[in-house]
Structure 1
Amino acid sequence: MLDIPRDISPLIRLHPADNVAIARRTVDPAATPLVDGLAVRDRIGQGHKVALVPIAAGTAVTKYGQTIGFASRDIQPGEHVHTHNLAMAELDLKHEFCAGAEEPDYVPEAERARFMGYRRPGGRVGTRNFLAIVSSVNCSATVSRAVAAHYAAATGRLEAFPNVDGVIAVTHGGGCAMNTEGEGYRYLARTLAGYATHPNVGGVLMIGLGCETNQIPLLLKRQGLSEGPLFRTMTIQATGGTRATIAAAIAAIDEMLPALNGLERTSESAEHLTLALECGGSDGYSGISANPALGYAADLLVRHGGTACLAETPEIYGAEHLLTRRAATPAVAEKLLQRIDWWRDYATRGEAELNNNPSHGNKQGGLTTILEKSLGAVAKGGASRLNAVYEYAEPIEAKGFVFMDTPGYDPVAVTGQVAGGCNLICFTTGRGSVSGFKPAPSLKLATNTTMYERMREDMDVNCGTIVTGEETIEEVGQRIFAAILATASGQRTASELFDYGDNEFVPWQVGAVM
């Protein structure tokens, strides 16, 4: 756990071995030429790095006590350290499998935190109660959206069903021109099945065109699904076209709504929460405020019997040794490294590099290399033992801290986590991400107070108080955990109030599109 000093010094040194510090606020040498005895040579924006000592060209630059890159030229004390003088290079990471894999200090079952959730058949528990219209193919997306629009809040048609959170259209751009034996099909099929069986979904209507590659009967058979009173299917071609399908779909949903509305929230243990850990629009504060605070909350959830799922494989690249050290078994560690190797090959085939990151906004916020970004991103996973590694959209069955292999692109990453069963999301952001992910509610955690104040209506928790020294990581982590329980019990998040979440279902499309 980082120890952020609770003072008003403009600079934060995160580890005694670090040769750079982070600006707590913008430092202008014209106004403040000397900071804590350091002669500042350049303007250092908030969240950006400043050299504390001379750093020779080719020497490692260290933050968090870890290497984040190498000086591309000689750097003098007081200089701004960023893309102009800090470069990426391959690291020879040392892996100590399972060396830090300690059993969590579990809270006794009778004392575990509780929330008000929707208990489903089989024991799953939802934090929301949606009816989902799932498109098997892009060709049925327009019809699916038209049916969902029939039940939009403005129409008032759901007012008679107060226990139903909404009727949502789960649409995408694939489902045809693909090999049903290929990797891309497996990802799509798992994702659609994961949403259709999600604990936040009480009823499903799956709509296809009829002639697509992703045939509904094949999908149901391979995923072990079957039709029933609350799981129905239809195709546009067999039903008689667009208008007839919309009418038939509305009639089917009208028949399902009373059963969904009959469900009521009941008191449930926090062990039924599966939390997706995500970050987007990161900045130089992400790894020292919101991410470690979320990590503390994730550890609390694990101690209370729940599950926390880290993802975004390209954004743990260079920090994977911190996770293999916490792996419960050597097999878990090996699986994580196998996914890293897969990504190296995948990036090469796509004429890309894993270090083609951070993004433009990340760099503006003070991040320079993928190593720096990854070290901060891993902090979301807290310190709990890593119990399992999952491929994209696989059902999450293990309890505790787990990892899912996903891209770093937020909509694709979260789509996989939700498909795996995450019934709530915590999304840290330093630049101001605003997306939502129906059917799972998403809490936005701001890394800095400046952005939080500017975008207060879109943010749920301000973690910038860690940077300013007003609160500790532990105190903010406790606030996040309380917000998780409140949200799971029905308190609406900022993104829900703005009705985000209809456009963020983005399954990972890999393989040949024929």
Structure 2
Amino acid sequence: MASPELGQVGFRLHEDDSVLIARTDIAPGTYRDGAAELTAADPVPTGHKLALTDLAAGAPIRKYGQVIGFAARAIRAGEHVHTHNVTYREFDRSHDFGAAARPTDYVPAAQRATFRGFRRPDGRVGTRNYLAVLTTVNCSATAAKMIARRVETSGVLDDYPHVDGICPLTHTLGCGHSGTGNEGFEVLRRALRGYAGHPNIAGLLVVGLGCEVNQVRALTDDLRLPPGLPVHAMTIQELGGTKKTVAEGVRRIEEMLPVADAHRRTEVPASELVLAMECGGSDGYSGITANPALGAAADLLIRNGGAAAFGETTEIYGAEHLLTSRAVSPEVGRALVDRIRWWEQHVQRDGSSINNNPSPGNKDGGLTTILEKSLGAAAKGGTTNLCDVVGYAEPISTRGLVFMDTPGYDPVNATGLIAGGAQLMCFTTGRGSAFGCKPAPSIKLATNTPLYERMPDDMDINCGAVADGARSVEEMGREIFEHVLRVASGEQTCSEELGYGEEEFVPWHLSTVL
């Protein structure tokens, strides 16, 4: 019996690669590779790596045509390549700012895609129509949730069909730290400002305790909200306790409901969209299927005049040179490198290492080093120019591809991007992350078919079709783009139907707790 073809069981992503990615579980045995043969010495799980050549100790290991690590010992062709025989170390990466930047091939204005969104009085466009209960401090979180639940269970929302719900935005910060000259405090304020003025919010109730560092009045004075947005503010201590606060909060929400319900969806151009992009619970397929397909969708949105933004600075580490080469200017390229350098110093001060990422689940899925994870994660950025680099939760005002400096932790990253103005998110996962991010809908993209079939109630799109040979990356990108437009027009996502999104408001905690 002839040996099976190596191409039937795995992918070689680039001609310079020294590893094959398992398409299915590879059993020990001999496989044909053209005229040659390769003997697999070890079982290699789906998504993991098989050595295609002998690698000397210390030799670079390549995937995507890029270095993902170094052989910790001599590795023979046919061996499983993973954490047991691969090491991470620093190496020089050149930054040829803008060398790969190219003019964007925009779709003519008359032919651009559209969706049905909520046009606000100041011109902003929302994809959802929520009333929000925003807290200044952890101490008012329970009251905020009680207000939202009481309104939603009262039946009053039945009379206001154009309101998507009441969204409590609670967090664990707001006190126990300095409120002046404090970077962490300003990061919190930026996140709160971004959500308060988000285009998916039609009215706002701010609830505080009364004695916290992050005072209600100081916060509301600093919000710089869009004109015409109804805003109410109150504190538990001034109102005489939790029960009175909840009753008053319900009354004020009910007062805002007719105003919010008056908003209607209208046809608007896709250029109004800011798409947030996230990958979490990644696996060996993330950089092969869902992430490049999402990158293709981002390219389509940008060609239609919109913006696509992604972050997770620690998860593009080692791939940043691929982004800086597409920077529209040396200043944009240097801004990204500056953030990388900040993170190197930040983790060093903490006694940690950027290579503490990937997570255990990522490693189970086949990702060995942060370099490998980053190269796959950077594929979300598509092929267009890098137009801007912004700080955490700063407004995303540039059309095109934008990078935001955020941690890799999914809810913290998502909070920053949505605070920046993203009206919806695409979230790729190979392990099965359970996630939502109210007030923005989250579209879940499975990297492989077994995951999609195992978690059908959580996954919106099966990008495993790329690995299965049923779709090209470009076809999958078109499918994602069209799905984005439908969700922006009101179609519910799986995470919305399940009720996810309230616990994922997690501003980045940079302050020292006192």
Q: TM-score, normalised by structure 2?
A: 0.96
For 1:15, the aligned partner's letter is H
For 1:138, the aligned partner's letter is N
Q: Quick check: 1:392–1:404 contact (8 Å CA) kept in 2?
A: yes
Q: 1:223: Cα distance to partner?
A: 3.7
Matched, 1:74 2:74: yes
Aligned length: 505
Unmatched 5+ residue regions in structure 1? 1-6
Change (3 A) 1:23 1:35: farther
Q: 1:434: Cα distance to partner?
A: 1.3
Deviates more, 1:344-353 or 1:362-371: 344-353
CA shift digits 1:81-119 (9 cap, x unpaired): 000111101010011001111121111111110000001
CA shift digits 1:142-177 (9 cap, x unpaired): 11000011123x543211111000001100001012
* SS in structure 2 at match of 1:128: coil
Q: 1:220: Cα distance to partner?
A: 2.9
Aligned equivalents of 2:476 and 2:168: distance in 1? 35
Matched, 1:252 2:252: yes
Aligned equivalents of 1:245 and 1:140: distance in 2? 10
Aligned equivalents of 2:278 and 2:102: distance in 1? 24
CA shift digits 1:166-220 (9 cap, x unpaired): 0011000010122222111111000011111001100000011111111122223
Report the equivalent of 2:16: 17
Q: Quick check: 2:290–2:463 contact (8 Å CA) kept in 1?
A: yes
Aligned equivalents of 2:227 and 2:509: distance in 1? 27
Report the equivalent of 1:197: 197
For 1:420, the aligned partner's letter is G
Q: Quick check: 1:305–1:399 contact (8 Å CA) kept in 2?
A: yes
Q: 1:435: Cα distance to partner?
A: 0.7
Aligned equivalents of 2:100 and 2:288: distance in 1? 21
For 2:206, the aligned partner's letter is M
Over aligned residue pairs, what C-alpha RMSD do you find? 1.3
* SS in structure 1 at match of 2:511: coil
CA shift digits 1:370-419 (9 cap, x unpaired): 00000000000101111110110001111110000000000000000000
Report the equivalent of 1:4: none
Q: Quick check: 2:426–2:442 contact (8 Å CA) kept in 1?
A: yes
Q: TM-score, normalised by structure 1?
A: 0.96
* SS in structure 1 at match of 2:465: coil
Matched, 1:114 2:111: no
Aligned equivalents of 1:226 and 1:199: distance in 2? 9
Once superposed, which parts of structure 1, at least 4 consecutive aligned residues long, lie more than 6 Å away?
226-229
Q: 1:446: Cα distance to partner?
A: 0.4
Q: Quick check: 2:202–2:229 contact (8 Å CA) kept in 1?
A: no
Aligned equivalents of 1:135 and 1:24: distance in 2? 47
Aligned equivalents of 1:318 and 1:21: distance in 2? 20
Within 5 Å, which residues of 2 pair with 1:460-475? Answer: 460-475=460-475
Aligned equivalents of 1:443 and 1:69: distance in 2? 32
Using the aligned pairs only, state the percent identity: 54
Q: 1:342: Cα distance to partner?
A: 1.0
Aligned equivalents of 1:155 and 1:21: distance in 2? 57
Q: Quick check: 1:229–1:256 contact (8 Å CA) kept in 2?
A: no
Report the equivalent of 1:64: 64
Q: Quick check: 1:91–1:318 contact (8 Å CA) kept in 2?
A: no
Q: 1:500: Cα distance to partner?
A: 0.4
Unmatched 5+ residue regions in structure 2? 1-5
CA shift digits 1:54-93 (9 cap, x unpaired): 1111000000000000001111111100001111010100
Aligned equivalents of 2:293 and 2:154: distance in 1? 40
Q: Quick check: 2:196–2:225 contact (8 Å CA) kept in 1?
A: no
Q: Quick check: 1:143–1:246 contact (8 Å CA) kept in 2?
A: yes
Q: 1:11: Cα distance to partner?
A: 1.3
* SS in structure 2 at match of 1:110: helix
Q: Quick check: 1:151–1:166 contact (8 Å CA) kept in 2?
A: no
Matched, 1:34 2:17: no
Report the equivalent of 1:455: 455
Report the equivalent of 2:208: 208
Report the equivalent of 1:242: 242
Matched, 1:341 2:344: no
For 2:30, the aligned partner's letter is P
Report the equivalent of 1:441: 441
Report the equivalent of 1:150: 150
